């Protein structure tokens, strides 16, 4: 929270409350009551699960029509799941396929099954190379070094600044894509979910979609989910903030524009759409391009984030969570009209 608090203070944003949620706690009613009694307009309380590729089969394999299933799904309402998905159509897979064929000969199936762990193997090999360069081959072979995880893995997050912008630093060109699934209780009473979003491509379909939601929480008002942005990522994690009661749409960059304008470190562009919206700035050249693209949309970009304070935007809560078995710690900063994810 140190970086977030400093950035908030520099923008004149007042932090009203800070609540810590234990990842294993079953009862968080105390924190909810404290937030409700504080008075500010809480926008979204959501969860994040970083799971394996079988997460994509969840809705297809669970029993349907039972009270237990209905209860389980109700508890999942509004949660976001990020999981790897095999991708046999990108350059990384084609390169792997060609290398395998050169070594083994014969035909190679176009379907990407059987190489689920190709990315993991590549990262492992690169990690061993990193250790060898630091401690020497003999120490690595004998296991006598005192390497840390940071020595073994290239840092996933290059730079991180809240609330203005952050960057991704890819490990390598991934063979597997990453998908997002968000479950919610639709107006028909059935389970609706957004299309699984391939974060290796621009997600124009989901950017313009709106989902009515019946939220059962005593403390949080019903809200309409609108994914306000997605970014191309070479990592397991992507930024996908959600805004409440938003209208209009966002004009996404085409794949070719992503490739041309955002190689390597990818700036995350956060946009809240509505009658009084703004663009949270990233790199200046990218901001200018998005401002031009948004000029014809329902969004009204604002050039300077210092205007957040003038608009009465207050930080209402910062909550530290550990998501799933991977223990990826996240600081969630709830703003009056937008959400910013801070990841470690």
Tens-place pLDDT, residues 168-181? 222 233 343 444 44
Domain membership of residue 227 (yes or no) is yes
Q: Within a domain: residue 28?
A: no
Do the domain assignments include residue 66? Answer: yes
The answer to whether 288 and 267 are in contact (CB under 8 A) is no
pLDDT at 78: 52
Same domain as 261, residue 221: yes
For residues 188-196, average pLDDT:
31
Total domains in the fold of the chain: 2
Q: Are residues 132 and 236 in the same domain?
A: no
Apex 343 CA angle, 340 and 344, nearest 5: 160
Better-scored residue on pLDDT, 130 or 86: 130
Asked if the model's pLDDT at residue 49 lies above 50, the reply is yes
User: Is 171 part of any domain?
Assistant: no
- Identify whether residues 181 and 127 lie together within a single domain: no
Distance in angstroms (rounded) separating the CA atoms of residues 207 and 205: 6
pLDDT of 99 higher than 70:
yes
Q: Is 18 part of any domain?
A: no
Which stretch of 44-48, 51-55, 72-76, 93-97 has the lowest confidence by average pLDDT? 44-48
| Proportion of the chain above pLDDT 70, given as a percent | 13
Residue 144: its pLDDT value, please?
86
pLDDT for position 75: 60
Residue 181 covered by a domain: yes
Q: Are residues 82 and 96 in the same domain?
A: no
Asked if the model's pLDDT at residue 197 lies above 60, the reply is: no
Contacts 24+ apart (CB under 8 A), 321-329: 321/21, 321/23, 321/47, 321/48, 322/23, 323/23, 323/47, 323/48, 323/49, 323/50, 324/48, 324/49, 324/50, 324/51, 326/50, 327/23, 328/48, 328/50, 328/237
Q: Are residues 142 and 188 in the same domain?
A: no
Tens digits of residue pLDDT in 18-35: 766 665 666 667 766 776
54 and 200 housed in the same domain: yes
| Residues 259 and 285 both lie in one domain | yes
pLDDT at 30: 73
* 82 and 127 part of one domain: no
Classify residue 224: in a domain, yes or no.
Answer: yes
Q: Do residue 82 and residue 98 come from a single domain?
A: no
Q: Are strands 48-50 and 80-85 parallel, antiparallel or unpaired?
A: parallel
Range name among 84-88, 95-99, 206-210, 260-264 with the lowest pLDDT average: 206-210
What pLDDT does 219 receive?
Answer: 21
Q: What is the pTM of this model?
A: 0.31
Confidence category of residue 229, pLDDT binned at 50, 70, 90:
very low
Residue 73: pLDDT over 70: no
Mean confidence (pLDDT) of the chain:
46
pLDDT at residue 143 in the model: 81
Looking at the fold, whether 144 and 269 belong to one and the same domain comes out as no
* Residue with more model confidence, 96 or 248: 96
Question: Quick one: what percent of the chain has pLDDT higher than 90?
Answer: 0
What average pLDDT does the segment 37-64 reach?
57
Poorest-pLDDT segment among 248-257, 281-290, 307-316, 329-338: 329-338
pLDDT at 86: 56
241, pLDDT greater than 80: no
**Domain C-terminal end among 266, 286, 302:** 302
Co-location of 57 and 95 in the same domain: no
User: Of 270 and 153, which is predicted with more confidence?
Assistant: 153
Question: Over the range 147-179, which residues count as b (16 or more CB within 10 Å of their CB) and which as e?
Answer: eeeeeeeeebeeeeebbebbbbebbeebbbbbb
Over residues 75-97, the mean pLDDT reads 60
Domain range spanning residue 192? 41-86+176-302
Q: Are residues 186 and 259 in the same domain?
A: yes
């Amino acid at each position: 929270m140190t970086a977030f608090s400093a950035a908030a203070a520099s923008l004149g944003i007042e932090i009203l409350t800070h609540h810590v949620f234990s990842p294993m706690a079953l009862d968080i009613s105390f924190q909810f009551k404290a937030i409700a009694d504080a008075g500010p307009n809480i926008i979204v309380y959501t969860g994040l699960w970083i799971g394996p590729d079988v997460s994509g089969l969840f809705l297809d394999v669970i029993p349907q029509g039972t009270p237990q299933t209905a209860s389980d799904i109700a508890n999942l309402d509004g949660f976001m799941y990020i999981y790897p998905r095999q991708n046999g159509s990108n350059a990384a897979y084609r390169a792997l396929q060609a290398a395998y064929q050169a070594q083994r000969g014969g035909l190679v199936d176009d379907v990407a099954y059987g190489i689920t762990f190709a990315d993991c193997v590549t990262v492992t090999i690169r990690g061993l190379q990193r250790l060898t360069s630091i401690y020497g081959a003999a120490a690595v072979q004998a296991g006598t070094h005192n390497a840390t995880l940071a020595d073994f893995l290239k840092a996933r997050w290059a730079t991180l600044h809240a609330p203005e912008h952050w960057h991704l630093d890819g490990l390598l060109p991934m063979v597997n894509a990453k998908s997002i699934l968000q479950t919610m209780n639709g107006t028909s009473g059935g389970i609706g979910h957004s299309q699984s979003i391939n974060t290796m491509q621009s997600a124009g379909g989901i950017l313009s979609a709106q989902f009515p939601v019946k939220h059962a929480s005593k403390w949080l008002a019903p809200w309409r989910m609108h994914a306000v942005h997605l970014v191309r990522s070479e990592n397991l994690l992507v930024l996908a903030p959600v805004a409440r009661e938003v209208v209009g749409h966002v004009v996404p960059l085409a794949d070719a524009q992503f490739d041309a304008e955002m190689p390597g470190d990818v700036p995350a562009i956060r946009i809240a759409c509505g009658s009084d919206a703004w663009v949270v700035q990233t790199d200046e050249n990218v901001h200018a391009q998005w401002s031009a693209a948004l000029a014809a949309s329902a969004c009204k970009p604002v050039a300077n984030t210092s205007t957040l304070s003038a608009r009465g935007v207050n930080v209402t809560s910062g909550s530290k969570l550990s998501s799933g078995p991977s223990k990826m710690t996240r600081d969630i900063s709830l703003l009056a009209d937008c959400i910013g994810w801070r990841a470690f």
